[in-house]
Amino acid sequence: MTLYATFIVALEALRLNALRTSLAMLGIIIGVAAVITMASISTGASKRVEEHISSLGTNLLIARPGSNRMGGRRGGAGTSESFSEKDVAAIKAAVYDVAAISGVVNASGAIVFGNNNWQTGVQGVHADFHIARAWDVASGSALTDEDIRRKSKVAVIGQTVAQELFGGQSPLGERIRIKNIPFEVIGVLADKGQSGMGRDQDDTILVPISTARTRLVGRDGSVAEPVEMMFISVRDGADMAKVQEEIENLLMERRNIRPGAQANFDVRNMSEFIEARTATQNTMGMLLATSAAISLVVGGIGIMNIMLVSVTERTREIGLRMAVGARGRDILVQFLVEAVTLCLVGGMIGLAVGAGCSGLVAYYAGWPVLMDPVYVVLAMAGSAAVGLFFGFYPARRASMLNPIDALRYE
How many alpha carbons fall within 13 Å on the CB side of residue 65?
21
Question: Taking a C-beta distance cutoff of 8 angstroms, is the pair 310, 399 a contact?
Answer: no
Averaged pLDDT for residues 116-141: 92
Tally helices (H) and strands (E) across the chain.
13, 14
Strand partners, 233: 60, 100
Q: CA-to-CA distance for 175 and 189, rounded, in angstroms?
A: 17
CA distance 351 to 334: 25
Give the model's pLDDT for residue 57.
58
User: How high is the pLDDT of residue 71?
Assistant: 44
Model pLDDT, residue 332: 79
pLDDT at residue 398 greater than cutoff 50: yes
364 in Cβ contact with 308 (< 8 Å):
no
Whole-Å CA distances, 346 to 21, 27, 315: 9, 8, 26
Q: Which of 235, 216, 254 is nearest to 104 (CA)?
A: 216
Question: For 314-328, what is the mean pLDDT?
Answer: 73
User: What is the number of other CB atoms lying within 10 angstroms of the CB of residue 212?
Assistant: 22
CA distance 353 to 19: 19
Backbone φ and ψ for 76, nearest 5 degrees, come out as: 100, 165
For a pLDDT cut of 90, what percent of the chain falls above it?
A: 29
Cβ pair 49, 62 in contact under 8 A:
no
Which pLDDT does position 3 carry in this prediction? 64
Residue 73, pLDDT > 50, answer no
* pLDDT of the residue at 72: 46
Tell me how far apart the alpha carbons of residues 170 and 154 are, in angstroms, rounded to a whole number.
16
Q: Are 32 and 347 in contact (CB under 8 A)?
A: yes
Per-residue confidence (pLDDT) for residue 74, from 0 to 100:
47
pLDDT of amino acid 85: 92
CB atoms closer than 10 angstroms to residue 343: 32
pLDDT tens digits, 295-320: 777 778 877 887 777 777 767 777 77
Q: pLDDT value at position 282?
A: 66
Distance between start and end Cα atoms, the chain: 27
pLDDT of residue 382: 80
Check residues 336 and 96 and name the one with the higher pLDDT. 96
User: Does 52 have pLDDT greater than 90?
Assistant: no
Amino acid at 384: A
**Res. 172 pLDDT band, cuts 50 70 90:** very high
Q: 30 with 279: CB under 8 angstroms?
A: no
Comparing C-alpha atoms, which of 399, 61, 36, 25 is closest to residue 251?
61
Domain ranges in the chain? 3-52+275-408, 81-263
For the residues 307-336, what does the mean pLDDT come to?
75
Phi, psi dihedral angles at 231 (to 5 degrees): -100, 125
206-265: pLDDT as tens digits:
999 999 999 898 665 567 889 999 999 999 888 888 999 999 999 999 988 888 788 888
Report whether pLDDT(164) > 50: yes
**What span, in angstroms and rounded, lies between the C-alpha atoms of 68 and 65?**
9
pLDDT digits (tens, 9 = 90+) for 284-295: 667 766 776 777
Is residue 369 within 8 A of residue 355, CB to CB? The reply is no
Contact 202, 192 (CB under 8 A): yes
pLDDT at residue number 146? 95
Query: How high is the pLDDT of residue 48?
Result: 67
In whole numbers, what is the pLDDT of the chain averaged over residues? 81
Residue-level pLDDT at 212: 93
- pTM higher than 0.75, yes or no? no
Higher-pLDDT residue of 254 and 283 is 254
**d(C-alpha 333, C-alpha 14), whole Å:** 15
pLDDT confidence of residue 278: 64
Among candidate residues 321, 353, 339, 332, the one with its CA nearest the CA of residue 385? 339
Residue 174 exposure: Cα atoms within 13 Å on the Cβ side: 17
pLDDT confidence tier of residue 182, bands split at 50, 70 and 90:
very high
Higher pLDDT: 162 or 323? It is: 162
CA atoms within 13 A on the CB side of 237: 1
- The region of weakest confidence among 9-18, 81-90, 136-145, 349-358 is 9-18
pLDDT digits (tens, 9 = 90+) for 336-368: 887 888 888 888 898 899 888 888 888 876 667
- pLDDT confidence bin for 196, thresholds 50/70/90: low
pLDDT at 407 over 70: no
